[in-house]
Structure 1
Amino acid sequence: MADLPFGFSSGGDPDPDKRKKDESDSGSSSGSGPSGPSDPFGFGAGGSNFDMGDLGQIFTKLGQMFSGAGGAMGGGTQSGPVNYDLARQLASSSIGFVAPIPASTVSAISDAVHLAETWLDGATALPAGTTKAVAWTPNDWLDNTLDTWKRLCDPVAEQISTVWASALPEEAKSMAGPLLSMITQMGGMAFGSQLGQALGTLSKEVLTSTDIGLPLGPKGVAALMPDAVEELSKGLELPRAEILTFLAAREAAHHRLFSHVPWLVSQLLNTVETYAKGMQIDMSGIEGLAQGFNPAAMADPAAMEQLLSQGMFEPKATPEQTAALERLETLLALIEGWVQTVVTSALGERIPGAGALSETLRRRRATGGPAEQTFATLVGLELRPRKLREAAALWERLTDAAGIDVRDGVWQHPDLLPDTTDLDEPAGFIDRIIGGDTSGIEEALAEFEKDFTTPDTPEKPQDPPVDS
């Protein structure tokens, strides 16, 4: 998997042995000693041994380090924690020239989406969510998804750029001055550079606008990527029309969820923000980094990216982050599992190669395809294939036990969805849904109705209840 932004590691690393080794290698930065998270500069617990002279020397050396960085700022303007102008430039450069999409291909995609929607009507209670079917070039994908990438990346990048500075003693903040702003700007360039490179690669390999399970494009616009579909087809002994219809069905199924489950998109993005807010950073290594760095290297913009990827910022997993990552991973797995279940039901008897295509996409996930690597790089989450299989199995069993309407009714409110425990033990969840333990469901539905049926007018205080 690609290196994470600024050299930080995911708080949800599924390999505990690797985490233990990393913590052992990091020495005092493990958090248990005087250089732990409560003392990000290693100056002693509570700052009792803090020496302003020492900190002044650190800032002097850092100022020398960044003094030659002015010429490296030419990668576009930056108004937030990420330099998105630079990201767009690098991504567009990576894409290069792309031939226009023939009208016949656009028409074929539109027909495939229309056919898929017709077949999906019999496999799900959720109505069609697409209002338009389009064929995108890699540049089209970049233009239409960058705004969503901003919403995904800004919370993490903002936290990285501010949380460590906020941990400075008050005396240090006044001394840091313009240096903090410079480091933030340089960090935005580094993040923008990594984002641009990742999006440039991803734009040429994703198959649809929802290929990573997130609503990256405009609402209701079903978009397929003809060049990527053609590349996928080369390794499959299946008719192109079947492949196109299968991918159109997956795209259309995603849009049914994102268009008709009103809380879903905000829940996904809010969970990413929760993850970012839980971040804690240990800066104990900054002094040694300043002493050993060559200021002349800052003439090269790539040097700053390399600097930040060497571990200058070292976030530490917190309980809040771990919980947020687990919720996000589970929600993405539930989306993917539901789509797989619905598409298999809609196409299974109509397209002989549907099963083989589903397996191809599962292997794509299992081998760490570009979508999973990019999401892990930028957000710190890796969507594990085990979760996908378990989620699909749960939806299939619920469909068999309770039917389509009950299954899709679970999406009415987030409190009704299965959690990680339910994925491991689906029988208990199914029993609750079909009439076993239904505690909490009525309250959740009442809350849902209150949230989404109340008119947009100020609520009057102390209104008497209305008898039913």
Structure 2
Amino acid sequence: MATGDDPNPMEEFLRQFGIQPGPDGTFDINQLVGPLQQAFAQFSQQMSAAGDGDGLNWILVKDVARKTTAASGPDPTPSPTQAASIRDAVALADLWLDEHLAMGRIDTAPVAWSRAEWVEKTIGTWEHLTGSVSSSLTGAVAGLMDRPEPEFAGMAAMMEPMMRTAAAGMLAAHVGQGIGRLATDVLSTSDLGFPLTERPVVALLPTNVGAFADGLDVPLSDVRIYLALRETARQRLFAQVSWLGPQMLALIEKYARDLTLDSAAFEEAIEAQMSGGLSPERIEEFGNQLAGKLFKPVLTPEQTEVLGRLETLVALVEGWVDDVVTQASAAYLPRAAALLEVVRRRRASASTSEAALKTLLNLELRPRRIRDAANLWAAVRAQRGVEGRDAVWNHPDLVPTGADLDDPLGFAENGHVTPAADDLDAQLARLLDEERGKGDAS
């Protein structure tokens, strides 16, 4: 039992349901069964949208994400005029790109998305990438129920389902807010540097594009075409290079599997809920407050290696896009070089997207070597031509490594020596095989 002025969270939790201790200050477990069962049933009905306690309810995640985007400002459905402007920009981008890359056009029509539509269209990928995080809930909740007070030992079995439900709801709110924040910042489908849709599609978000262009000394139409060039090139790459997107997502999934919840922060949030009343609104509030505190900050050596590989791949993708778009736009967009610098500064800054990825997956994705990658691709193009540059993507063993970025001319002339497969490569191969198996079974 708590002493002095320190409140006992479990006692406060029981009091909110009208359950009081006896004259001696203890609870009689036999007398608690009926009231607790009634309280649990009432709470379970309230939290029916939060999931079953063993995972996340993605309807709730999506609802929180939509609320987050709505709270950030107006998010109108793109008008027919905006949609037509994006279709025209992508059509022009396709024409310009045809001469400057070997990848053919994709077969999906370009579209304009609101922030809410970006959430809807990418939620399936986020569910896959963050699914392993929810598996950490069982251990975290078990730790919460391991309390030293003997009078509460008999209640643990009854309370654990409620605590699992509360934890699942809080984590769903946390994940939903991270996705919602991303939606307020991204400019296009794969603006983060990796694919988020099942099929390649070029989509721009007019609201976010307008905010990006605000204050630039460049016409909005030029900004739109420039961003359309970047997204179209990126989607052509993902469509043509079948191994690239799955390997990037497998790296993220591998990284997420080793995430560990910060038990102390999680327990503090749960106890605060218990003392103030468990309700869907308070659970969402505490899920939002966990931003930046949910995961243990220390990465394992394997996570550090995975993150390095992922950052190199993102740098290679974005550096390749830089080179392709610079060549394709040189004769048509006088301010293309200035726009490239704006994009680079945006990537280098602590953006909303970076903070949201940190919230979602403790992922600080800062591919610092994009300029080096762009220089490498330019050197390969000068040495081997456009076809030779793009042929490097034909197999993962041909793609530059982090070490190759230090010697772009050497790579352009000789390529690199293929390293022997290590344990991490074998694990990623297994992940990719599992994904192919799922696709075959569906």
Fold similarity call, TM over 0.5? yes
- Which residue is equivalent to 1:296? 276
Q: C-alpha separation between the residues in 1 aligned to 2:262 and 2:12? A: 20
- Which residue is equivalent to 1:39? none
Are 1:376 and 1:382, in contact at CA under 8 Å, matched by a contact in 2? yes
Q: C-alpha separation between the residues in 1 aligned to 2:407 and 2:140? A: 41
Match of 2:327 among 345, 348, 353: 345
- Which residue is equivalent to 2:115? 138
Return closer, same or farther for 1:252/1:313 CA change in 2, 3 Å cut-off: closer
Are 1:163 and 1:280, in contact at CA under 8 Å, matched by a contact in 2? no
Instruction: Give the SS at the match of 2:253.
Output: helix
Moved more, 90-99 or 336-345: 90-99
Deviation, 1:143, is: 1.4
Q: Does 1:423 align with 2:405?
A: yes
Q: C-alpha separation between the residues in 2 aligned to 1:291 and 1:95? A: 29
- Which residue is equivalent to 2:55? 81
TM-score (norm 2): 0.74
Instruction: Give the SS at the match of 1:314.
Output: coil
Match of 1:369 among 351, 360, 369: 351
Q: Does 1:104 align with 2:81?
A: yes
Return closer, same or farther for 1:112/1:144 CA change in 2, 3 Å cut-off: same
- Which residue is equivalent to 1:93? 67
Q: How many residues are aligned here?
A: 385
1:194 aligned partner, one-letter code: H
Q: C-alpha separation between the residues in 1 aligned to 2:173 and 2:204? A: 26
Higher relative contact order (CA 8 A, sep 6+): 1
Are 2:262 and 2:293, in contact at CA under 8 Å, matched by a contact in 1? no
- Which residue is equivalent to 1:462? none
1:74 aligned partner, one-letter code: M
Deviation, 1:240, is: 2.3
Aligned alpha-carbon RMSD (Å)? 3.9
- Which residue is equivalent to 2:131? 154
Match of 2:174 among 194, 201, 204: 194
1:188 aligned partner, one-letter code: A
Moved more, 89-98 or 125-134: 89-98
Match of 1:276 among 256, 260, 263: 256
Are 1:337 and 1:389, in contact at CA under 8 Å, matched by a contact in 2? yes
Deviations 1:204-253, CA, capped at 9 Å, x for gaps: 33211111112223523211111222222221121222111111111111
- Write out aligned runs for 1:2-401 (5 A): 71=43, 74=47, 76-78=49-51, 81-96=55-70, 98-155=75-132, 157-162=133-138, 177=157, 181-280=161-260, 295-299=275-279, 300-302=282-284, 304-305=286-287, 314=296, 316-384=298-366, 386-401=368-383
In structure 2, runs of 5+ residues without a counterpart are 1-7, 17-39, 149-153, 438-442
Percent identity reads 34
Deviations 1:330-367, CA, capped at 9 Å, x for gaps: 11121111111111111122111111111111111111
In structure 1, runs of 5+ residues without a counterpart are 1-60, 457-468
Return closer, same or farther for 1:214/1:322 CA change in 2, 3 Å cut-off: same
Deviation, 1:384, is: 2.1
Q: C-alpha separation between the residues in 2 aligned to 1:297 and 1:404? A: 63
Moved more, 372-381 or 193-202: 193-202
Q: C-alpha separation between the residues in 1 aligned to 2:80 and 2:263? A: 55
Return closer, same or farther for 1:130/1:237 CA change in 2, 3 Å cut-off: farther
Are 2:383 and 2:413, in contact at CA under 8 Å, matched by a contact in 1? no
- Which residue is equivalent to 1:36? none
Return closer, same or farther for 1:279/1:178 CA change in 2, 3 Å cut-off: farther
Q: C-alpha separation between the residues in 2 aligned to 1:126 and 1:326? A: 27
Q: C-alpha separation between the residues in 2 aligned to 1:263 and 1:338? A: 16
Return closer, same or farther for 1:65/1:144 CA change in 2, 3 Å cut-off: farther
Return closer, same or farther for 1:304/1:108 CA change in 2, 3 Å cut-off: closer
Instruction: Give the SS at the match of 1:420.
Output: coil
Are 1:431 and 1:437, in contact at CA under 8 Å, matched by a contact in 2? no
TM-score (norm 1): 0.70
- Which residue is equivalent to 2:28? none
1:386 aligned partner, one-letter code: R
Return closer, same or farther for 1:345/1:375 CA change in 2, 3 Å cut-off: same
